[in-house]
Amino acid sequence: MKTPIAITGIGSISPLGVTSQEQWKFYLEKKTALVWDEDLEAYTAPLTQQGKDLVQKLRSENPKYERLDPSVLYAILAARKAVEEAGWSDGNFGVNIGSSRGATQLFEKYYAAFAKRNITPTQTSPSTTLGNISSWLAQDLKSKGPTISHSITCSTSLHALLNGVAWLQSGMAERFVVGGSEAALTPFTVAQMRAMKLTPQEETTSAYPSQALNLFKKKNTMALGEGASMACLEMGKPKNTKAYITGLGYATEELDHAASLSSQGICFQDAMKMALGKTALSEVDVVVMHAPGTIIGDTSEMEAVKAVFGEDLPLLTTNKWKIGHTFGASGILSLELAVQMLKEQTFIGVAYLKEATGVKELNNILINAVGFGGNAVSILVSKA
């Protein structure tokens, strides 16, 4: 990287809670937020009741918000927290927020009406476009900078980070809010995952329905979560810096089909190597893996980590066993976990895997994400 980028604020709303204190407390516990949803017939990790209440309160603030998809409202709530933490009050920042599925809940609602009556409500088109997510957030925060929405499936929010860094280092912006939001706990979304046989097909007695990073599982165990997470980025070394982005990597690989990933995780290998640059492998303390809970997803990423780091692996973890796979929001939620681990100097492992022993000081953490299309992103974050 030309210059390290400071992370001065992070905000999220997720199954972990709505404040950094309760989110960290949940991480310290060996429990999961995944529950069996009788209506969806699937394991999901929904927002906490406090999170749902905040969303409803936000709707009541402005009549226009009544017509917005929950994914947009989640993004607004998370971004408000991040910007407040960063101390930005003048609107002098850009916005790049993404989502894998976009306005899923509204789209399904409006399409159901169309299928029944062959007409749609007036607000169908403007409220289901992907551009809603950044446009309304920028309106809410009174941003004066560029406003960008995009989707690159499950690596969406880390691609937003890449783009925000590019704007900053080009000199075209001084500050950027980046992140992702997902509110896809819907019948159609669950049906899509079930059709690909990615999720548990029935209720289990296991305390951990998602066996993310368990390389010995015989079936796919990906479960879905929802939420949003935002990070505030700026150049220099502000006093309120939480961590620094010190490496960026990205790569794609040749596809066999729309959802394929090579057994050796070639895109992961290339992205991690680019992010590491000249950083010594021994200086990387933790890798927060994408590890969605699918057999091919987990094993290919592990093969990639082994190919890059050799036999002396850093500590490995993922948060999807706790909060499920939040699609486009997952990358920044992983970044948030990394920043919290650096701050607290505490490694958060996976409850059902072998406990890490002799954990050393945490200085550098690598975060991975990948989406359909073989597009991987790796971000190296370092202690402030």
pLDDT tens by residue, 300-350: 999 999 999 999 999 999 999 999 999 999 999 999 999 999 999 999 999
Instruction: Give pLDDT tens digits for 131-181.
Output: 999 999 999 999 999 999 999 999 999 999 999 999 999 999 999 999 999
Mode of pairing for the β-strands spanning 315-317 and 42-45: unpaired
Q: Which of 282, 273, 365 is nearest to 316 (CA)?
A: 365
For the domain spanning 247-383, the CATH number is 3.40.47.10
Residue 374: predicted pLDDT: 81
Confirm or reject CATH 3.40.47.10 for domain 5-234, answering yes or no.
yes
pLDDT given at position 258: 60
Give span(s): CATH 3.40.47.10, the chain. Answer: 5-234, 247-383
- The structure's pTM equals 0.97
